[in-house]
Amino acid sequence: MPREKRVENYDVVVIGGGAAGLTAAIYSARARLDTLLIEKALVGGLATYTNEIENYPGFPDSPKGEDITNLMKKQAVKMGVKFKLTDVKSVELEGEDKIVETFRNKFIAKSVILASGGRPRVTKAKNEENYLFDKGISFCATCDAAANTGKDVVVIGSGDAAIEEGMFLTKFANKVIVSVMHDEGIMDCNEIAKEAALQNPKMEFVWNTVVDSFEGEGHLDTVVLKNLKTEELIPIKCDNCFEFIGYIPNTEIFKDQINLTKQGYILTNEKMETNIEGVFACGDVREKWLKQVATAVGDGAIAGFAAEKFIAEHETFNTVIMQKEKPGLIYIYNAIDTPSREFLAHVEKIEQFFEGKIVVNRVDVYKSKGISDRLNIKKFPAAIITKDGSIYEQHIQDFTEETIVQALNNALN
């Protein structure tokens, strides 16, 4: 018989322990929220595989990626973040109680932050696994170009990323040899990049080829290409190889619930909100322009902050705005709109008239739209009458003190 899963409750569960997830967890735990971070491989994520990070502000001595992420982890532990080293198998994100399941546990959270990053697509050629990351096969020119100054490098791929990153590499490398699987002159990138690349004296192209194997003692020194038409093997001596044949976001377990791009990246707005209330996404897993540690950290800060705001607003909404004790008037106005601000005097009179028999809440949408969004009110001012914790009547824009008094009398009877 399958074992019952152990159930644990948290305010926030973060899926993924890279730079984005760690930062989100730091922000969430610092806001005194009970925060769990789940990581299936290495806390620190992709950055831990990087030998030198030269472009993360505040670290001028180009430390290893793991030196930076270990500090992030230390800070998260200090803030009280709890860690589980296991794989998230499934999620149920709709509704108030969000469920995150691992092999042994079922975690229930008020808010979930998706920070599961992605992985570079690899060629699957022979011996590739022996040279990944710091042993000669790289996936990031922005990160590793400077380390290849004066060297010969091979680029695999001919899409926009491959050709634009290849061009960037020519500023540092001695020679950039590009393996393209198509016939001479055919590339997958845009025409402007193609023309510029074909004219670049530091770039050479080997047409109709894919990688057959990677070779070298300890560190890569030869990429063996194979001509797709003649099957000829072409060994290319090099110091490093850059693979730009795509990136796969880790979103398989979210795909039926969260809105994704065609390539599988999570769509968010600038508050890192996804299509599901209380679910946020940050870092490389979301659709964005620049995927780096600095941007992952920025996203994570926003997601952690947004989760805290979401939970606070949710609690205020349930216990104060939609209180069940008495009939209520929720007056939603915009402080910079004169008529809706002037009606506040009438709200005052209504409150006095009912002498404590009703609860009045004033909500200024100029400060925050969270509550009006929850009530799905798009036009202001609005007067919402509640009874037993539910909406009883709603009056949008066109109402008077008398109509509201009448509606509240109805709710009281």
DSSP of 50-61? -S---SSTT-TT
Contact range with ligand FAD by CB under 6 A, out of 50-58, 157-165, 211-219, 337-345: 50-58
Interaction of residue 16 with ligand FAD, rule CB under 6 A: yes
Count of chain residues binding ligand FAD (CB under 6 A):
42
Least Å distance, CB 146 to ligand FAD, is 10
Least Å distance, CB 386 to ligand FAD, is 41
The contact mask relative to ligand FAD for 61-100 (x = CB under 6 A, - = no) is --------------------------xx------------
Asked whether the beta carbons of 44 and 66 are under 8 A apart, the reply is yes
Interaction of residue 250 with ligand FAD, rule CB under 6 A: yes
Interaction of residue 302 with ligand FAD, rule CB under 6 A: no
Q: How far apart are CA 285 and CA 117, in angstroms?
A: 4
Q: How far apart are CA 92 and CA 101, in angstroms?
A: 9
Choice between 18 and 327, CB closer to ligand FAD:
18
Interaction of residue 20 with ligand FAD, rule CB under 6 A: yes
Return the percent helix, strand and coil in the chain, to nearest 5.
30, 30, 40
Can you tell me which of 47, 156, 181, 266 binds ligand FAD, judged by CB under 6 A?
47
Strand bridging mode 175-179 / 152-156 = parallel
Q: Three-class SS string for 227-278?
A: ECCCCCEEEEECCEEEECCCEEECCHHHCCCCCECCCCCECCCCCCECCCCC
Can you tell me which of 93, 115, 161, 177 binds ligand FAD, judged by CB under 6 A?
115
Choice between 157 and 283, CB closer to ligand FAD:
283
Asked whether the beta carbons of 132 and 140 are under 8 A apart, the reply is no
Can you tell me which of 45, 157, 278, 381 binds ligand FAD, judged by CB under 6 A?
45
Asked whether the beta carbons of 181 and 208 are under 8 A apart, the reply is yes
Interaction of residue 364 with ligand FAD, rule CB under 6 A: no
Look at the block and give the residue holding tokens 């926009």.
160
Can you tell me which of 28, 111, 116, 208 binds ligand FAD, judged by CB under 6 A?
116
Q: How far apart are CA 104 and CA 122, in angstroms?
A: 31
Q: SS3 of 347, please? A: helix
Least Å distance, CB 209 to ligand FAD, is 23
For residue 113, give Cα distances in angstroms to 47, 74, 295, 304.
19, 20, 16, 8
Choice between 87 and 232, CB closer to ligand FAD:
87
Q: How far apart are CA 276 and CA 111, in angstroms?
A: 10
Contact range with ligand FAD by CB under 6 A, out of 179-187, 215-223, 289-297, 374-382: 289-297
Least Å distance, CB 278 to ligand FAD, is 19
Contact range with ligand FAD by CB under 6 A, out of 34-42, 152-160, 169-177, 370-378: 34-42
- Find the binding residues for ligand FAD in span 133-192 (CB under 6 A): 133, 138-140, 143
The two tokens of residue 61 are: 């001595």
Asked whether the beta carbons of 83 and 13 are under 8 A apart, the reply is no
Interaction of residue 39 with ligand FAD, rule CB under 6 A: yes
Asked whether the beta carbons of 340 and 334 are under 8 A apart, the reply is yes
Choice between 59 and 317, CB closer to ligand FAD:
59
CA neighbor of 235 nearest in space, from 209, 198, 273: 209
Chain residues that interact with ligand FAD, rule: CB under 6 A: 15-21, 38-42, 45-47, 49-50, 53, 55-56, 87-88, 115-118, 120, 133, 138-140, 143, 250, 253, 283-285, 291-294, 296
